[in-house]
Amino acid sequence: MAVKQHIVMVGLNDAIQRVELTGTRANQKVKAAIHKAGSECQKEAKEWLDIYVYSTPESPSYKRTGNLKRSVLWTLLDGGWTAIVISSMKYSAHVEYGTRSMSPRPYMRSAYDIVKHHFKQNIKRIVSEL
- pLDDT computed for residue 14 by the predictor: 67
Domain annotation covers residue 69: yes
pTM above 0.85, yes or no: no
Q: How many domains does the chain have?
A: 1
Measuring CA to CA, how many Å separate 55 from each of 47, 90, 95, 97? 11, 21, 14, 18
Domain annotation covers residue 68: yes
Domain containing 92: what range? Answer: 12-128
- pLDDT computed for residue 126 by the predictor: 84
Domain annotation covers residue 108: yes
Over its length of 130 residues, how does the chain's per-residue pLDDT go in tens digits? 555 555 555 566 666 666 555 567 778 888 999 999 999 999 999 999 888 777 666 666 666 778 889 999 999 988 888 899 999 899 889 888 988 988 888 899 999 999 999 999 998 888 787 7
Whether the CB-CB separation of 69 and 45 falls below 8 Å is answered with no
Domain annotation covers residue 5: no
